[in-house]
Chain A
Amino acid sequence: MMPELSLNIMDLAENCIRAEATLVEIALDENIKTDILSVKIIDNGKGMTDEFVKQITNPFITTRTTRKVGLGIPFVKQIADMCEGELKIDSTEGVGTTISFSMKLSHIDRPPVGNIANTIHSLIVLNPEIDFSFSYTVDEEEFKIETKAWKEILGEIPINELSISTALKKEITEGLKKIGR
């Protein structure tokens, strides 16, 4: 199990990377009025067959070659089920995959979101060739960052260059602070 949802998000994003995605979109939405927390992760990776999607919540189904269990998605499914939410997977081969999961925001068993700033910053800096779009919405307030906009300004300078990485972290941390997260 993961102690923070932001770690589950990191883990799911790793699946996108392994699926050779060039764009990964991560959206978190905390709706206090409806009492629902939802997370959506969209990639343009190689996608999965319907057959594979049907079996994906089974821990004994995995593309890993290092061992025969895959726990990333089963973990998320378990948390969603436990917290009156659900997990949905929509995938098309050659097009990409969308994974969304929700849970009751106030559910006593709901893990904290945790350090989402670290998750997003690490993903961007560790995978400079992939574009990330991240948004966090709390009721009407939203923080959004898109690496494409950064990369356009940066030109030939990689986004994982130390001074840029530092600025990126500041942008994410301060942006989240503005929406109270």
Chain B
Amino acid sequence: MTTLDELKKLKEQALKDIKTREGKASAKIVVGMGTCGIAAGARDVTAAIMEEIEKRNLSDVIVTQSGCMGYCEQEPLVEVEKDGKKIVYKKVDVEGAKKIVAEHIVNGNVIGDMVFGQEN
């Protein structure tokens, strides 16, 4: 396994990255991963979010998951926590996922027509 050797090198870079941002995350993205979410496309939405984050090198954005949030008909649901505010987006597809990263995470604009709910 060559990657494990590469990993040792990557570790040094990762340590620097963590130090630079002082362990703080600028935003947190939560994807609903219940059976309903997965059947509606949550896995591919997650992959699209991660790819977009990678492309933009947003190492201070955390991506995580939750179980079913109880609104199965609105899945895939994606919650964004940024600047002390929580916004939940509904029926997110791959395009929507990219938009969330570009518009909400990077530019700080909530995407009005995709919002399911919010909590201040």
Contact = CB atoms under 8 A, between A and B. Distances in A.
B and A form one assembly: yes
A34 interface: no
Chain B contact-residue range equals: 35 or more
Contacts of B57: 162
A162 B59 contact: yes
Given A71-B35, A154-B7, A164-B14, A122 B70 contact: no
Contacts of A122: 43, 46-47, 50
Contacts of A169: 50
A67 interface: yes
Given A153-B8, A164-B14, A11 B35 contact: yes
> Chain B at the A interface: mostly helix, strand, loop or mixed?
helix
Contacts of A179: none
B62 interface: yes
A163 B47 contact: no
Contact of A126 (B6, B10, B33): B33
Interface string A118-131: 11011001110000
Contact of A153 (B4, B33, B44, B68): B4
A63 to B, nearest CB: 10
A123 to B, nearest CB: 9
A78 to B, nearest CB: 13
B43 A162 contact: no
Interface in A155-177: 155, 157, 160-167, 169-171
A75 B38 CA distance: 12
B39 interface: yes
13 contacts: A6-B43, A7-B43, A14-B34, A14-B35, A14-B38, A66-B68, A67-B72, A115-B44, A153-B8, A161-B14, A163-B13, A165-B54, A169-B50
Interface of B: 1, 3-4, 6-8, 10-11, 13-15, 17-18, 31, 33-35, 38-39, 43-44, 46-47, 50, 53-54, 57-59, 62-65, 67-70, 72
